[in-house]
């Protein structure tokens, strides 16, 4: 081997190692991890959700029949962040912040799967692993919840990193992206016959070139679309 060629060869090896390390780091970044979960987009949008997390009842709307009235399927008003369990029409939701519950589309058969240690918001299922759910907890902590065990594994998050802060901000918006379908909520104020202002909300669903609007009973938040794109859950309050 010509020793005069050793430094360039060593430099090339170091450059290759650094390139592979950078590629691996980017693939494991906070933003890249978020994209593994349904309903998540890291594309900037101007649609903001309601301020703060509000509990209420779970409502069900049929997207293919937007003119029909949404149906309230729970009572008691203690639910938030419902999701469709992949491969089924069962619903996963949080109840009173710490109880992870499962129920059906009639609001029946409710069972508590786990009582979590921290207040938790459900964001979306892992596209490749139906046992894992992206969650948001206090501080804030973004983590992955195991439906089977109830354990939450925090994701590496750097509050000094602007990309990480951007990703966290997207999770807090009332906008969900399902590939060719986007769901957002528009909050308004209306005047009743007595001249009083009252809040109201409309859910907008953009399915390709088709726009569907669903009027909320009063106000609503936290929309979640089923895998087939035909049914929508949301929290009404």
Q: How far, in Å, are 24, 66, 122, 201 from residue 209 at the CA level? A: 37, 16, 29, 22
What is the distance in angstroms between the CA of the first residue and the CA of the last residue of the chain?
76
pLDDT tens-place string over residues 170-202: 787 778 888 889 999 998 877 777 777 788 889
The DSSP code sequence of 79-120 is EEEEEEPTTSS-EEEEETTTEEEEE-TTS-S-EEEEE-SS-E
Phi-psi category of residue 166: left, alpha or beta, with phi > 0 → left and psi -120 to 50 → alpha: alpha
Q: Which segments in the chain show pLDDT lower than 50?
A: 3, 6, 8-27, 46-51
**Residue range 40-65, pLDDT digits in tens:** 876 655 444 444 578 999 999 998 75
């Amino acid at each position: 081997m010509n020793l005069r060629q050793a430094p360039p060869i060593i430099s090339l090896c170091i450059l290759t190692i650094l390139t592979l390390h950078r590629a691996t780091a980017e693939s494991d970044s906070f933003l890249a991890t978020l994209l593994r979960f349904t309903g998540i987009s890291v594309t900037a949008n101007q649609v903001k959700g309601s301020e703060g997390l509000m509990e209420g009842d779970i409502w069900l709307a049929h997207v293919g029949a937007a003119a029909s009235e949404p149906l309230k399927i729970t009572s008691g008003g203690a639910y938030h962040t419902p999701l469709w369990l992949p491969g089924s029409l069962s619903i996963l939701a949080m109840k009173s912040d710490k109880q992870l519950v499962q129920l059906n589309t009639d609001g029946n058969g409710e069972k508590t799967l786990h009582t979590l240690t921290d207040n938790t918001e459900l964001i979306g299922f892992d596209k490749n692993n139906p046992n894992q759910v992206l969650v948001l907890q206090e501080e804030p902590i973004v983590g992955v919840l195991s439906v089977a065990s109830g354990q939450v594994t925090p994701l590496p998050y750097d509050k000094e990193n602007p990309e990480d802060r951007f990703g966290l901000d997207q999770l807090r918006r009332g906008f969900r992206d399902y590939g060719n379908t986007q769901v957002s909520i528009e909050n308004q104020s209306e005047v009743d016959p007595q001249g009083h202002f009252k809040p109201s909300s409309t859910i907008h669903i953009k399915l390709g070139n088709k726009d569907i609007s669903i009027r909320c009973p009063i106000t609503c938040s936290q929309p979640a679309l089923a895998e087939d794109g035909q049914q929508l859950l949301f929290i009404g309050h």
